[in-house]
Amino acid sequence: MCDETVYDELGVPTVVNAAGTKTRIGGSRIRAEAMEAMAEAAESFVRLSDLQAAASDRIAAVTGAEAGYVTNGASGALLLGTAACIAGTDPGTMARLPDTEDVPSEVVMPRTHRTGYDHAIRSAGASIVDIGTNDRHLGTGARDVEPWEYADAIGDETVAVAHVYKDYGSPTLSEVCSIAHDHDVPVIVDAAAEIPPVSNLEWFTEQGADLVAFSGGKAIRGPQTTGILAGRQDLLESVAMQHLDMHAAPEVWDPPARLFDADAVEGVPEQGIGRSLKVGKEELVGLLRALDLFIEEDHEAKRARWREQADRISASLGEVEALATRTAEGAKSVAPTVVVDVDEDSADVSTVELVSALRQSEPRVFVGADQLPDQRFTVNPMCLTDEEADYVVAQIAEQLHGAGTDTGDGVPRRA
């Protein structure tokens, strides 16, 4: 801790991450073996298309899909997947994206699946056609989207159905896929944070999904900038054509057949819409190494460790005056979260003041802040070492009751 780090050199405070795998504070801790693989990858040159072809084999093997591709994040995977659904292997359309004036480019998507990440879908040139209602979420009814609404919305302009995987109930992903396939339309699934369980690598493809996007920087703990797109060979061919750097001399252009049939396209495709979503050899190799380790990992043991750590944090914070804690079981893919209720009448600071003071300390401490209006914050053990967990508990206690020892450190106190 005493050695000057790269962050010290830049004058940037580090973050103790008690909020879980959040991209904006650095995602997850990359696996050491992935870092080693990246350093090794950096030593030689390699043709990126050969590397993507090898990645395709590996991703196909672990997902059960026909092909795969390493993208820059799940978000990049969604953009590339959508571009493939719009353009297929038509060189003119590929060259014109995101301009879709003359080609079908609608993506049908339930309102309840819309997230900030669907900007990636729209960035490819698609427009999203909303279906269903938001009734279930609002409590104004029990249903969100009906099978017939998919069928009703799919038409000549539709290029794909998008599905953000969460526990929605109905219709199931497999039903959605059957409806879409009845209309010859592919289904793109955003499963960015849906692994583990490892079996989910295959599950979405088994349900009939044509393209599945996973994040490489979350539980896989590969490089932050990576993602995986798994799916149909023909769609992944289009992805490769729109992603690879295409500044090649046509006379000697000879891409690997695993990626696409070069004879089926006229000349060398132009730099496509995916060219701005570059993936380097180092990231690609790092992701594949991390993926292997993720599959081999003992996930039960990891969950047990998270639970133990959550219980320990919960017990220590529970002893702090004005705090009441409980642990809430997370989805299969994430750690249990410690939910902390602040009794603002007996604390020196409000919950908002506490959480902002933690963020302003050095190192910064980030706790989960999605429930501040309920005088509640959360602590997630996924990205904490034991030592850091102790530090977080101590900082919370100090910021809560430190008014008596206030040294004018700029920490806001409640009047």
Assign residue 369 a region (left: φ > 0; alpha: ψ between -120 and 50; beta: otherwise): alpha
The answer to whether the beta carbons of residues 171 and 145 sit under 8 Å apart is yes
By CB under 6 A, tell whether 290 contacts ligand PLP: no
Which of 201, 207, 139, 147 shows the shortest CA–CA distance to 179?
147
By CB under 6 A, tell whether 110 contacts ligand PLP: no
Q: Is the peptide bond before 147 cis (omega within 30 degrees of 0)?
A: no
User: CB under 8 Å to 385, separation ≥6 — which residues?
Assistant: none
Choice from 35, 103, 193, 352 touching ligand PLP (CB under 6 A)? 193
Terminal Cα distance for the chain, rounded: 36
Choice from 121, 192, 287, 338 touching ligand PLP (CB under 6 A)? 192
By CB under 6 A, tell whether 215 contacts ligand PLP: yes
* Closer of 80 and 164 to ligand PLP (Cβ): 164
By CB under 6 A, tell whether 93 contacts ligand PLP: no
By CB under 6 A, tell whether 395 contacts ligand PLP: no
The answer to whether the beta carbons of residues 327 and 336 sit under 8 Å apart is yes
Contact pattern from residue 253 through residue 272 relative to ligand PLP, giving x for each residue in contact according to CB under 6 A and a dash for the rest: --------------------
Choice from 20, 68, 73, 255 touching ligand PLP (CB under 6 A)? 73
Q: Give the range of 71-79, 256-264, 322-330, 355-363 binding ligand PLP by CB under 6 A.
A: 71-79
Choice from 38, 74, 153, 268 touching ligand PLP (CB under 6 A)? 74
- Rounded to whole angstroms, the maximal C-alpha distance in the chain is 77
User: CB under 8 Å to 287, separation ≥6 — which residues?
Assistant: 34, 55, 70, 216, 220, 222, 223, 226, 228
The answer to whether the beta carbons of residues 101 and 93 sit under 8 Å apart is no
User: CB under 8 Å to 110, separation ≥6 — which residues?
Assistant: 130, 131, 132, 144, 145, 149, 163
Choice from 83, 94, 97, 164 touching ligand PLP (CB under 6 A)? 164
* Closer of 20 and 186 to ligand PLP (Cβ): 20
By CB under 6 A, tell whether 68 contacts ligand PLP: no
By CB under 6 A, tell whether 25 contacts ligand PLP: no
By CB under 6 A, tell whether 367 contacts ligand PLP: no
- Residue 396's SS3 state is helix
By CB under 6 A, tell whether 109 contacts ligand PLP: no
Residue 369, phi then psi, degrees to nearest 5: -120, 30
* Closer of 115 and 170 to ligand PLP (Cβ): 115
For residue 220, the minimal CB distance to ligand PLP (Å) is 10
Q: Which residues bind ligand PLP (CB under 6 A)?
A: 23, 73-75, 115, 117, 164, 190, 192-193, 215, 217, 227
